[in-house]
Amino acid sequence: MEIECEVEREVMNRRRFLSTTGATALVLGSGAQESFAAAAPKSAKTPKAMMKLGCQSAPTTDAHLKYLARYGVKHICGYPETSEGRIASTVDELSRMRDLAEKNGIEIVCVGPPILESSYIDREKHPAIMLAKSPERDRDIEQLQMLIRNCARAGLPSIKYNMSILGVLRSGRVQGRGDASYSQWKLAEAHPKTPLTIAGHVDAEAFWERITFFLDRMIPVANEYKIRMACHPQDPGVPPEGYQGVDRVLGTVDGLKKFVAIRESEYHGLNFCQGTVSEMLADPGTEIFDVIRYFGTRKKIFNVHFRNIRGHRNDFVEVYPDEGDVDMWKAIQVYREIGYPYMLMPDHVPVAESDPQGLQSFAYCYGYIRGLIQAVSQT
């Protein structure tokens, strides 16, 4: 009789465990499932998980918004239609985008302007800020200042941007699992098409001057209108001697630390690409967590590109989130630990011939991130 009671208690314990973790285990897979099962019970001091599943994929049309809503994405970075020749969307243009998203049950919490994108300078329509070319630079900055004001009037709290000349550097693609292909960067095998860009030689001193010039004029306006300005790191970092004549000063963790300190403000921070920051590290699987803590505890993370890599600085492949060198379950626990309240989103997903735009890969990543958020909310 005593043995039967013991068996019955064990069965009940297993049922209770499976009822709370079963759905999550299906999403996370065996590795994260073991980590979740081993996690300590939530203590009174454990912060509540506040992060949200998000996305920054374009365009912000009714059809794409319905696609996002289908997979439970309720917060996004949006791209407003902007009248020809303008950088700053009007309040009406921003409001129409916001209203269209709301009709689909989605909130726009970040805006992507048609300038300072992660694009190659030779193809950039508005290169003056990064080229330090006045008076065009001054006019473009005035337009971005107006965008800050208009976002505030439309109730849109954040703007993302890049300070890049080289865009996203990659050396090729490699075969992934199934029929997917992955983007790769091998510095030793990279050969630029031209020795220099139209920017010419841009050493660290010149690059910091351009960044500081921009921040000195933008952050005071962001402070006044309470709009978070989220800058993406340079992807990937390159050696100090530069690549195509450019020293990518925002391609190291120390560079990002210097960047956020130039203008101390609660509205000056990072569009923190976890994948790009992992690409800066010699051992991302062990180092990334303290980097998240550094910027997160200082409230400098305004958005997260929650993606994974396999490899390290100067030699890596962008992979699905569950197969890289970074333990994403541990990473999301760190975001909860620091009280991160904004979006976690996919970025640079693998593609396949049958999925050239990566919509299936994005959907996979939405489910993966959503499962992690639900799991960390229960621990």
Indicate if 102 and 5 belong to the same structural domain.
no
Over the chain (379 residues), what is each successive 10-residue block's mean pLDDT? 45 44 42 43 68 98 98 98 90 98 98 96 96 97 98 98 97 97 97 95 98 98 98 96 96 98 97 98 98 98 98 98 98 97 97 96 98 95
At 40 the pLDDT is 42
pTM: 0.88
- pLDDT for 85 equals 80
CATH code, domain carrying 242? 3.20.20.150
pLDDT at 84: 81
Distance CA 146, CA 143 (A): 5
What's the CA gap between 219 and 263, in Å, rounded? 7
Residues 114 and 27 in one domain: no
pLDDT at 379: 85
Residue span of the structural domain in which 365 resides = 44-378
What confidence score (pLDDT) does residue 34 get?
44
First to last CA, the chain: 35
CB–CB of 307/345 below 8 Å?
no
Q: 226: phi > 0 → left, psi -120 to 50 → alpha, else beta; which?
A: left
Tell me, yes or no, whether 192 and 75 share the same domain.
yes
Q: Is the dihedral of CA 164, 165, 167, 168 positive or negative?
A: negative
Residues 85 and 149 in one domain: yes
Q: What is the pLDDT of residue 316?
A: 98
Based on the domain organization, do 2 and 79 belong to the same domain? Answer: no
Within 8 A by CB and 6+ apart from 315, the residues are 185, 186, 187, 188
Based on the fold, state whether residues 170 and 309 are members of the same structural domain: yes
The total domain count for the chain is 2
356 C-beta neighbours (distance < 10 Å), count: 8
Residues 6+ apart with CB under 8 A from 303: 54, 56, 77, 110, 158, 160, 230, 270, 271, 272, 342, 343, 345
Q: What is the pLDDT of residue 47?
A: 78
Does residue 317 sit in the same domain as residue 179?
yes
Do 1 and 105 belong together in one domain? no
The pLDDT of residue 32 is: 43
Claim to verify: residue 29 and residue 66 sit in the same structural domain: no
Rounded Cα distance between 158 and 109, Å, is: 6
Shared domain check, 199 and 104: yes
Question: Which pLDDT score is estimated for 100?
Answer: 98
- Same domain (yes/no): 318, 350: yes
Beta strand 107-111 with 180-186 is unpaired
Asked if 254 contacts 233 with a C-beta cutoff of 8 angstroms, the reply is: no
Q: Which pLDDT score, from 0 to 100, does residue 13 have?
A: 47
Residues 54 and 7 in one domain: no
Region for residue 305 given its phi and psi (left: phi exceeds 0; alpha: psi -120 to 50; beta: otherwise): beta
